[in-house]
Chain A
Amino acid sequence: MSMRTQILSLSTAALLCASVATAQNARPVAFTNARIHTVSGEAIENGTLIVRSGKIEAVGDDVTIPAGAKVIDASGKTIMPGLVSAWSRAGLNAPRQRGNTPTRGGRRFRGQARSSSGGGRTANKAATKVIDGLYIRQPVFYDLLEVGVTSLALNPSGGGFPGLGAVLNPAGKTRSDLTQDDEAFVQIGMQRNATAKKLLKDTFEKAKKVVEEREKPPTPPKKEEPKKEAAKKEEAKPAEKKPAEKPEEKKPEGKEPPKPDGKKPPQKEGDPKQDPKKPAAKPASKPKPKDPNLEVLADLLQGKRRAIVQIDSAADLLHWRHAVGDDVKFPRMIAVQRHDTRSGTMDMVVDHLKKWECAVLLPASLSTKPSSSYLINPAKSLHDAGVEIGFAIGESAGSVRTIFYNLMQLVRAGLPADIAIKAVTHVPAKALGIDKRTGTIEAGKDADMLIFDGDPLSSTGKLEQVWLRGKRVEKK
């Protein structure tokens, strides 16, 4: 008992400390004479930046410093938004295990099917939350924060519809601290084979039907009849087409469609055999259970969610059009895992990309012309054509450290420097749906920022400080 009181008192002490820290935070901090890459607009020379209570209070070249502010002279320094990583599987694998790399297998033999660890190749698992597979106690998140990643995506791996991606707060120590948004986006993976294409085609068709059903003229709330019809229609087809669909993905209805619960097995009441024989259940009075996976995709098609679609090459993009078509529209960003010169880099299908009006997340490197060593800059080509580009910044501290060097090369090869900076901050933030909060240096946004001594893209520029929500990140 006394033990417990001790713990209690200790924890109150800790709480007190924390409140003291926040109180300190309440004192505004003013950076003066800094060069500020706002990303939202032009860079500001000799700018002033006020941070209070974790937020950016003001930014500009004629900002009055509030009374009592702690003034930091930042002459010679550059301030830019913290890096946003929209492609990462950091923490998904158990620590000390190899295989953390985003490209599984890298270059493949032609004709060889791509393997995928997360499944989803033959089933729609769109409602599975990737966060449920996270190993929390890992140094990798803090390591990433130290080198400048202030927001971090967690992408489910696998082709087809492997699940819902999350956004992490890299400073978090517990699952809840770490998780900023456990269903930030729908991950979709395009693969160039018959099975994957069929899955994409069939699933989107089913999701479209769900949308049609939802968009029917509103009848008195919870009217049974049309729903049943819908469920019948929607189930009759899949049942004959895809009896392989795994029963455990069936979630009981009653759950709110936009908030489908992930892999929680307790509610596995939809008995496994029932699935393929849906039409037989006609006389049953209770409405058919909705497929949460389809509900997620219906949300997506209605614009209530966003997606990150992995399409690795121009050829794969054409196959996507072949399978899914252009008329299936939803908010998305395309993520390219590597420049595949033998299947075409993305700048070769720029017209289609423009039609889709989506950003493209590229590897932060130059590519080559096919079968040659002539360097090309797909990022620049896409930017010049009016396509918004972002860069994958890696998922280990090592790869993030080299991101500015890689950006420098791309800028040297013609990409505007401000676009390069935007491509690792604002663009990925938009893809993750956190752009209202972070990704630029604007009044009202979280004070997630990096302070460089010198130009971030220059070899002499050095990352001196990382700030996360108005707090300087301490080195371990």
Chain B
Amino acid sequence: MSLAKTHTRTNHTTMRTSTLFVLSLALLSALDLPAQGRGRRGRRFGPPPQQAPAPEPPKEEKKKEPKEHLAIVGGDVYIGTGQRLTGATVLIADDKIEKVGHNLELPEGTEVIDAKGKCVSPGFVIVEGSGMGTGFSGPYKDTVNPFDPSIKQGLAAGITSFLVGSTSSRGRVGGSNAVIKTHYGDIDGMVLVENSVYGVSVPLQISQKQQLKDQIKQCRDYLKAVEEYPAKKAKDAKAKEPKPPKGADAVLKVLQGKAKLWVSMGGGGMGMFRSMMGGGSSASDLDKIREALDVSRMFGRGVVIQKPMSAWMIPDEIANTGSSVIWSPRTRAAPDPKDPDHTGSNLAQAAILDKAGVAVAVTCPSGRFGGSGVGTGGILGQDLNTPHIDAAYAVRGGLKNRKALRTITLDAAKMIGVGDRIGSLEAGKDADILILDGDPLHYGTFVTTAVVNGKVVYEKGKEALFKHIER
């Protein structure tokens, strides 16, 4: 129903975009993404929906111990899938979201946080993070520092999860990383998953490409053999169990859909150096993007393309592979009029990609002195403080407001392989929730309360960071 409505509202768009849009809708439904809600100002018109269209989780109440309930009541709830419920309640049981909707019946003993006049949003998910209680290498569960003061700084910026570690490995698929939660004071709550992402950088050398092809074939053969094994075993009791190919764990996990594959535009020539020095990558990286899409086709799966400068020129090609894009809308590169290949960046990139049906996750530009992504590594660590403003730059480029919120919540969560755990306020997901004193993407907005794993871990009025700023 909401899909149709959205469509009618976009009638004024040109024929071409509307076809694109239909395509995107088709893709969205194909990807099983709940589509955007009733337009930007939907809240002002029409009655509020009765209940969030959240999928009801299978009821398997074991009633071991009474659950601890926490309810955030009366706020404007951004589900994170693109919808918003006015004056709704988010009910949390222990560390999971139990229900989102209007007039929920609260179990006895529920602790209530009043969010009237405030916005409630999923915690922000950062695809390239650093610091905030983590060191430089894994295994993270043995090294995280749950009392790192920069965790509070991240929470104040709305960050509840981020990917940390390396996501690239030159010439082959690899990497070592983890999704970390800013669960202050709790080491078990901090590490969500390790190695949910592997990366490879393009351009690949011919031999590397061949090696990758071989590995994919070996893994496919293996998976097929595994599938056929039970039948074989029934016929011949001596049938050997297939063994996974050596040295191709990462490739196998990507093929199985257990890990996301990121493709970085880092490799080759001076690209890495230039991007490190803050110049962005080269002004046109079409060739690299197309090679990334080749890799995607090799795997038969969408990949995540890291910071492709020229993606706005070939949105449909990217959409066709089901790939998604990590992008920083603040990154700028001017076109060179003397060189037709140097097409530069486009502020509208996120909007253009979104229209084509390509999911976008927003990150911040690389720090000038090597700090990459959102963390304390950039100049004075200021990149840590404003993920929502980075997303708002995408709005400035034409992306719809609530789509922009997805770039730092659900779509970002999907790109780091944890879309089923975090990124939206749906029943059964982890209770990582922000209460904000304004629109999540407005520059003047502050986080007033942050909840991670069902626990209140940040309150603006109690931390020295922004306590003194009144709104």
Contact = CB atoms under 8 A, between A and B. Distances in A.
A192 interface: yes
Contact of B143 (A192, A341, A344, A369): A192
- What's the dominant secondary structure at chain A's contact region? loop
Contacts of A399: none
Nearest to A340: B147
Contacts of A342: 145, 147-149
Interface in A319-356: 319, 322, 341-344, 348
Contact of A343 (B136, B145, B464): B145
B141 to A, nearest CB: 8
B143 A111 contact: yes
Nearest to B141: A322
A314 B185 CA distance: 9
Contact of A318 (B137, B146, B148, B149): B146
B188 interface: yes
A313 interface: yes
A194 interface: yes
A192 B146 CA distance: 12
A234 to B, nearest CB: 25
B38 to A, nearest CB: 43
Contacts of B146: 315, 318, 344
B136 A111 contact: yes
B145 A192 contact: yes
B145 A194 contact: no
A372 interface: yes
A370 B142 CA distance: 22
Interface in B135-165: 135-137, 139, 141-150
A110 B136 contact: yes
Interface string A371-392: 1100000000000000000000
A370 B143 contact: no
A318 B146 CA distance: 9
A110 B142 contact: no
Contacts of B72: none
Interface in B176-201: 185-188
A326 to B, nearest CB: 13
A195 B11 CA distance: 62
B142 A315 contact: no
Interface in A265-324: 313-315, 318-319, 322
Given A314-B147, A370-B149, A348 B185 contact: yes
B149 A322 contact: no
B142 A197 contact: yes
A193 interface: yes
A369 B147 CA distance: 12
B86 to A, nearest CB: 38
Contact of B464 (A192, A197, A314, A372): A372
Contacts of B143: 111, 192-194
Contacts of B144: 315
A351 to B, nearest CB: 11
Contacts of A111: 135-137, 143
A197 B140 CA distance: 12
A22 B142 CA distance: 57
Size category of the B interface is 10 to 19
Interface centre among B135, B136, B186 (most CB of A within 10 A): B135
Contact of B187 (A112, A322, A341): A322
Given A110-B136, A111-B135, A348-B185, A319 B147 contact: no
Contacts of A314: 147
A344 B144 CA distance: 12
A327 B214 CA distance: 50
A349 to B, nearest CB: 8
Contacts of A318: 146, 185-187
A192 B134 CA distance: 12
Contacts of A194: 139, 142-143
A110 B135 contact: yes
B147 A322 contact: no
A195 B137 CA distance: 14
Contact of B147 (A193, A197, A315): A315
A318 B147 CA distance: 10
Contacts of B147: 313-315, 342-344, 348, 370
A344 B188 CA distance: 17
A39 B263 CA distance: 67
A233 to B, nearest CB: 27
Contact of B142 (A112, A192, A343, A372): A192
Interface string A149-179: 0000000000000000000000000000000
Contacts of B139: 194
A351 B188 CA distance: 17
Interface string B78-105: 0000000000000000000000000000
Contacts of B188: 322
A139 B453 CA distance: 57
Contact of A193 (B142, B150, B186, B464): B142
Contacts of B186: 318
Nearest to B137: A111
Contact of A319 (B135, B149, B185, B187): B187
A372 to B, nearest CB: 7
Nearest to A370: B149
Given A343-B148, A371-B149, A319 B142 contact: yes
Interface string A188-202: 000011100100000
A370 B136 CA distance: 21
A111 B137 CA distance: 7
A350 to B, nearest CB: 12
Contacts of A370: 147, 149
B458 to A, nearest CB: 14
B167 to A, nearest CB: 17
Interface string B383-426: 00000000000000000000000000000000000000000000
Contacts of A313: 145, 147
A377 B188 CA distance: 28
Nearest to B187: A318
A56 to B, nearest CB: 44
A144 to B, nearest CB: 34
Given A197-B142, A315-B187, 20 more contacts: A110-B136, A111-B135, A111-B136, A111-B137, A192-B142, A192-B145, A194-B139, A313-B147, A315-B144, A315-B145, A315-B148, A318-B146, A318-B187, A319-B142, A322-B187, A342-B147, A343-B147, A348-B185, A369-B464, A370-B149
12 contacts: A110-B135, A192-B145, A194-B139, A194-B142, A197-B142, A313-B145, A314-B147, A315-B144, A315-B147, A318-B186, A319-B187, A342-B148
Q: List 9 A-B pairs, minimum CB-CB distance, nearest first.
A: A111-B135, A344-B147, A370-B149, A111-B136, A194-B142, A315-B145, A371-B149, A315-B147, A343-B145
Interface of B: 135-137, 139, 141-150, 185-188, 464
